Structure 1
């Protein structure tokens, strides 16, 4: 038997209780969980970081410059 859709007083569909509860549970776990940070890995990554002078940063290339040529 197919149940008809039921609406609450505000006009929204009812019956999302389990899905909403699960989403709330997952969101709460993500918000309040404290993941273990591997500090030695972080230190290794930061020690090999490039200088702030931009020597390892490639030059920015504007990929959209050719797109405007069709109007000219």
Structure 2
């Protein structure tokens, strides 16, 4: 007798969660997403940081040129 009641309760809870729509504070959402920017507080263009070192892998190009990934003759199965 308990399974039918349990399933009905789970169905009701799922339906309640599906159609639940809480009140949304759109002005707070706009502030959070940055829609309320002013030109005096934030710059219009993003700041790019070039602090990282870009590794040069060109010395490995000749060393591993003999390895061809397209001629893989292994079979699976």
What range describes the TM-score normalised by the shorter chain of this pair? 0.3 to 0.5
Query: What is the TM-score normalised by the length of structure 2?
Result: 0.39
Higher relative contact order (CA 8 A, sep 6+): 1
TM-score by length of 1: 0.41
